[in-house]
């Protein structure tokens, strides 16, 4: 299933994309895609619905973050072999973990707002993972059973904030709108192998990033298991699993986002995002 939340910010309704690519309303069946709707049992119940009988949503409404009330947004750094090379960093022995503020989350096609005083805002296309049930000290072999589904994620980063203003990455990662998620959450039954997905990102029509999740240093299963040994993962938590090569910081000369740029990013089977870059305070 492809699950969505549509409507104005803060007023989103639950929906799904049917087999014909049409948006159907689910608000008569569930209140929202909250943590309790991400379990295997809850998702199986939705899968049994006759989608043809669900109300059809007309027009092209905004698509919001496909999961409501995300508790944690966890990210993994330097997780593609080629990205480690372009960043001139050693292959990490264990996953590099940092947090993105949940206030950075936004819809897949919402504007990217450059933060005040930004000089080096950059892009990072990533495979996003949404947790479906509570995970503590789980094994790598069982880890994917704890995943509700997958989504496209753009781990936007202000590189000066991240690298040149102290040792903490988080402040360059959690700026408002620096966490576009979606356009939808694709349930894990539609992604039998998360380690064989093409990922890409274009800026103004030019291909900047292209890779495949098979070149991840740490697999999705490894990441989910690893994190569960350091923190409790809860339904609705989101994990960004790292980016392939081609970020603006590593290009020669370096390229960073500016107002008016258009970013298009996608992951095989999971859809595509499109964002316009605007200046602070984010006026259209």
Residue 2 has pLDDT above 60, yes or no: yes
CA distance 269 to 200: 12
DSSP H or E run through 267: strand 262-267
CA distance 52 to 22: 10
Asked whether residue 95 is domain-assigned, the answer is yes
Asked whether residue 181 is domain-assigned, the answer is yes
Residue 84 has pLDDT above 90, yes or no: no
Asked whether residue 1 is domain-assigned, the answer is no
DSSP H or E run through 86: helix 81-86
**Which tens digit of pLDDT belongs to each residue from 11-68?**
999 999 999 999 999 999 999 999 999 999 999 999 999 999 999 999 999 999 999 9
Q: Cα torsion for 284, 203, 246, 125, to the nearest 10°?
A: 60
Q: Look at residue 82 in the predicted model and tell me its pLDDT.
A: 82
Rg from Cα positions in the chain: 18
Q: Look at residue 83 in the predicted model and tell me its pLDDT.
A: 82
Q: Look at residue 283 in the predicted model and tell me its pLDDT.
A: 53
How far are the Cα atoms of 79, 93, 99, 193 from residue 83, in angstroms, in the given order? 7, 15, 19, 22
CATH (domain of 265): 3.90.850.10
- Residue 188: phi and psi, rounded to 5, are -65, -20
Is pTM beyond 0.85 here?
Answer: yes
**Which tens digit of pLDDT belongs to each residue from 211-222?**
999 999 999 999
Q: Look at residue 140 in the predicted model and tell me its pLDDT.
A: 98
**Which tens digit of pLDDT belongs to each residue from 252-264?**
999 999 999 999 9
Residue 225 is part of which domain span?
68-278
Q: Look at residue 171 in the predicted model and tell me its pLDDT.
A: 87
Q: What integer best gives the mean pLDDT of the chain?
A: 95
Q: Look at residue 168 in the predicted model and tell me its pLDDT.
A: 75
Q: Look at residue 170 in the predicted model and tell me its pLDDT.
A: 85
When divided into structural domains, the chain yields a total of: 1
Asked whether residue 53 is domain-assigned, the answer is no
- Cβ(249)–Cβ(88) below 8 Å: no
Asked whether residue 31 is domain-assigned, the answer is no
Asked whether residue 60 is domain-assigned, the answer is no
Residue 89 has pLDDT above 80, yes or no: no
Q: Look at residue 166 in the predicted model and tell me its pLDDT.
A: 77
Asked whether residue 40 is domain-assigned, the answer is no
pLDDT band of residue 147 (cuts 50, 70, 90) is very high
**Which tens digit of pLDDT belongs to each residue from 172-224?**
999 999 999 999 999 999 999 999 999 999 999 999 999 999 999 999 999 99
- Cβ(153)–Cβ(179) below 8 Å: yes
Asked whether residue 20 is domain-assigned, the answer is no
């Amino acid at each position: 299933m492809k699950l969505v939340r549509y409507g104005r910010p803060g007023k989103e309704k639950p929906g799904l994309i049917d087999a014909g690519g049409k948006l159907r309303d689910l608000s008569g069946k569930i209140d929202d895609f909250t943590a309790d709707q991400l379990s295997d049992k809850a998702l199986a119940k939705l899968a049994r619905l006759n989608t043809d009988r669900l109300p059809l949503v007309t027009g092209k409404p905004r698509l919001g973050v496909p999961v409501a009330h995300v508790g944690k947004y966890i990210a993994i750094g330097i997780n593609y072999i080629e990205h480690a090379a372009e960043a001139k960093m050693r292959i990490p022995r264990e996953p590099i973990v940092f947090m993105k503020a949940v206030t950075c989350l936004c819809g897949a096609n919402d504007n990217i707002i450059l933060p005040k005083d930004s000089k080096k805002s950059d892009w990072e296309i990533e495979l996003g993972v949404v947790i479906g049930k509570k995970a503590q000290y789980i094994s790598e072999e069982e880890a994917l059973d704890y995943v509700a589904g997958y989504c496209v994620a753009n781990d936007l980063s202000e590189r000066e904030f991240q690298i040149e203003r102290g040792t903490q990455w988080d402040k360059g990662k959690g700026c408002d709108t620096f966490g576009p998620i979606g356009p939808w959450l694709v349930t894990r039954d539609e992604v039998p192998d998360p380690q064989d997905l093409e990922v890409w990102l274009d800026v103004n029509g030019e291909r900047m990033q292209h890779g495949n999740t098979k070149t991840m240093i740490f697999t999705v299963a490894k990441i989910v298991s690893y994190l569960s040994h350091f923190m409790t993962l809860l339904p609705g938590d989101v994990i960004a699993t790292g980016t392939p090569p081609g970020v603006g910081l590593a290009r020669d000369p370096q390229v960073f986002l500016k107002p008016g740029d258009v970013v298009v990013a996608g992951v095989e089977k999971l859809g595509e995002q499109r964002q316009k870059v605007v200046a602070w305070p984010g006026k259209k």
